[in-house]
Amino acid sequence: MNSLWSNLVQNLDPYVAGEQPKDKTYIKLNTNENPYPPSPKVMQAIQSVTASDLRLYPDPDASSLRTAIAEYYAVSPTNIFVGNGSDEVLGFAFVAFFKKENPLYFPEITYSFYPSYCRLYEIRYRQCAMANDWSIQFDDIGDSPGGIVFPNPNAPTGMLLSLQQIESLVKRYQDIVIVVDEAYIDFGGDTAIELTQTYSNLLVVQTCSKSRSLAGLRVGYAVGHPNLIAALERVKNSFNAYPLDAIAIRAATASFEDQVYFEQCCNQIIETRDWFTAQLNALSFQVLESKSNFVFARHTQVEAKHLSKSLKEKAILVRHFSSPKIDNYLRISIGTREDMEGLIDSLGSILVA
Ligand code: PMP
């Protein structure tokens, strides 16, 4: 190891993202990107960027974007924080709320970035077990957690918690912050944003990467009580190097101004997901009930590792996780109907081989 590195860095086991191979053109169903382009209004907004927009520093408050998001959810701009992707917003939230004596809790099977943040920021954590039906055992949280975070729907299971379940957690643990990571909420779930108007310990984090087809733009946001937003701003201003850039502010603002296009895309993905699930069932897969833009499925006889490798040979990428509890599952992002038909045909031929 490099002797110039601190112990912390030497012991880090950084997050490993889904692969992005460049050797040929793949049908890419491994990182939950949206198969449709962003709204034409987003593209127009990017084309309207002027030389002065780039010459000057961007608006440090990202006011136009925060206002557009606030209007969209019928809350105040003082309830909104924006950052470079929800990963950055989550990172700020971990520093602002979870660096405490008592441990942070999150599900055992969940977004694998959470333990990475904990190691990076030296945050103690514990995991809530998953029941056989993949529900999260929130009873594992003792009386005094330092914080709670979970995605809703969960990743990679795609399973959704109800707003009643979220509200009962938020009510039960009023003296800690609960972060609900709603990266995939627009594909059939109900957002908990309305609850943030009643409960000042709830922070909802969302992203433009999935339902708004803007993964490349890197825009995420948090919605919560102004007191929570002020804490995130304090952390952000200490980093200083990461304000949203002028192009991202303009483009993401335009996305919130095109509701019709947004709904059409989400509905198309939901319809394709439901069709694809039925096709997988017919090929003897067990598929968890998903409310996201991906499904989590296992074949009753054939190993997931073999399937993902064979699909890659046919230029289709899906996600296979090697961690023991889920190594028999594939997480498959929902692409266009054509992508999914191609995948079903390929799976059919792999399974008879
Ligand atoms: N939360 C979850 C549960 C995710 O799966 C992802 C995407 N990998 C993110 C947050 C981060 O997304 P982004 O940084 O693109 O907003």
**Model confidence band, residue 242 (pLDDT cutoffs 50, 70, 90):** low
The pLDDT of residue 24 is: 82
pLDDT tens string 124-148: 999 999 999 999 999 999 889 999 9
Give the ipTM: 0.99
- CA 208 to ligand 1: nearest atom: 16
- Cβ of 220 below 6 Å from ligand 1: yes
- Cβ of 290 below 6 Å from ligand 1: no
In the CATH hierarchy, which top-level class contains the domain 7-37+260-352? alpha beta
CA of 319 to the centre of ligand 1 (A): 15
Contacts of 128 (CB under 8 A, 6+ apart): 105, 106, 107, 108, 136, 137, 138, 140, 141
- Cβ of 154 below 6 Å from ligand 1: no
Name the E strands within 189-311.
202-207, 220-223, 285-287, 294-299
State the amino acid at position 148 in one-letter form.
I
**Model confidence band, residue 107 (pLDDT cutoffs 50, 70, 90):** very high
Tell me if 279 sits within 8 A of 344, measured CB to CB: yes
In this predicted structure, the answer to whether residue 229 has a pLDDT above a threshold of 90 is yes
Domain ranges (residues) in the chain: 7-37+260-352, 40-258
User: Among residues 300, 290, 271, which one has the least CA distance to residue 332?
Assistant: 290
Q: Bigger pLDDT: 261 or 3?
A: 261
In this predicted structure, the answer to whether residue 263 has a pLDDT above a threshold of 90 is yes
- Cβ of 292 below 6 Å from ligand 1: no
CA of 283 to the centre of ligand 1 (A): 30
Tokens of 312: 């890659």
> Which helix (H) or strand (E) is 262 found in, with range?
helix 259-282
The pLDDT of residue 335 is: 98
Residues in the chain: 353
**Model confidence band, residue 17 (pLDDT cutoffs 50, 70, 90):** confident
pLDDT tens string 306-324: 999 999 999 999 999 888 8
In this predicted structure, the answer to whether residue 61 has a pLDDT above a threshold of 80 is yes
In this predicted structure, the answer to whether residue 350 has a pLDDT above a threshold of 90 is yes
Number of helices (H) and strands (E), helices first, in the chain?
A: 12, 12
- Which DSSP state fits 231? H
The pLDDT of residue 241 is: 58
In this predicted structure, the answer to whether residue 243 has a pLDDT above a threshold of 80 is no
The pLDDT of residue 110 is: 97
The domain 40-258 is placed in CATH, from the list 3.40.309.10, 1.10.3710.10, 3.40.50.150, 3.40.640.10, at: 3.40.640.10
CA of 159 to the centre of ligand 1 (A): 16
**Model confidence band, residue 22 (pLDDT cutoffs 50, 70, 90):** confident
The pLDDT of residue 290 is: 98
CA gap 15, 94 in Å, rounded: 15
Please state whether beta strands 178-181 and 202-207 pair in parallel, antiparallel, or not at all (unpaired).
parallel
Please state whether beta strands 178-181 and 80-83 pair in parallel, antiparallel, or not at all (unpaired).
unpaired
Tell me if 308 sits within 8 A of 19, measured CB to CB: no
The pLDDT of residue 309 is: 96
pLDDT tens string 170-185: 999 999 999 999 999 9
Tokens of 338: 């054509």
Q: What is the mean pLDDT of the chain?
A: 95
CA of 87 to the centre of ligand 1 (A): 6
- The residue nearest atom 4 of ligand 1, judged by CA position, is 183
CB-based burial, 218-236: b 16+ in 10 Å, e otherwise: bbbbbbbbeebbebbbebb
In this predicted structure, the answer to whether residue 1 has a pLDDT above a threshold of 70 is no
Percent of all residues in the chain with a pLDDT value above 90, rounded to a whole number: 88
The pLDDT of residue 240 is: 66
